[in-house]
Structure formats: C-alpha cells, structure tokens
Amino acid sequence: MKKYTLGTSKESVMKMIPERSVKKIILGDKNITLVRVAAEFYAFQGYCPHRGAPLYQGSLNNTNEIICPLHQYRFDIRSGEVKAGACPDLETFPTQLKDQGLEISIP
C-alpha cells in the first residue's frame, strides 16, 4: 500500500479542499476523486465504472452520494456502494487527516 500526503498541515488541507467540494487528484498512476464533508475526507476512483464519466465533474447530494454527470448514477462516498444505476461499486481509498496533512492510501 502506497501512502500519499496532501498539504502540510490540517489547516492547509481544510483550506485546499472546501466543504462539500468534489476535486480531481492524481496519485501515482491513479485518478482519484476527493470529497470533503465537514472534517471528513473521502477518496474513490475517478471515473464511473459504467461508462467512464469523470466523477470529479459530478455533484454531491444531501445524503452524501456522488452523482455521475453522465447518467446520474449515485454512489455512497463512504463505501463506494452504487445506490442508483446498474454498475459495480466504486473502489474507495482510506484517508486520514493528520497534523502533517491528509494521508491517502492507494493499493
């Protein structure tokens, strides 16, 4: 498991990733979508498994589901579970906010 750190402190990460924002990041050879809800961060695969639409162009609803911009499939950002649509669940990646920044673990 490879660990990546974004930012240099908790404060820098909170400023870098605004509340309820959806961001694209590249870690190694992986495109990742990163979402912040309050002080929690969720990382998952960058593209919808159905037709490859970029999830960082999607939106976040009130139940913390990312909505695919192509067919409006919905995925739980915590577990990656598909909630609406006919496709596999998203691959998710563990995150941990530390004093040194946001750590994201990629297999």
Per-residue pLDDT of 15-29, as tens digits, reads 999 999 999 999 999
9 — pLDDT class (breaks 50, 70, 90) = very high
pTM of the entire predicted model: 0.94
DSSP-based three-state secondary structure for 7: coil
DSSP-based three-state secondary structure for 90: coil
Give the CA distances from residue 88 to residues 47, 59, 74, 81, in Å, rounded to whole numbers and listed in that order: 12, 19, 11, 8
Q: Which of 78, 22, 30, 70 is nearest to 50 (CA)?
A: 70
78 — pLDDT class (breaks 50, 70, 90) = very high
pLDDT tens digit sequence for 27-73: 999 999 999 999 999 999 999 999 999 999 999 999 999 999 999 99
Q: Beta-carbon neighbour count of residue 2 at 10 Å?
A: 10
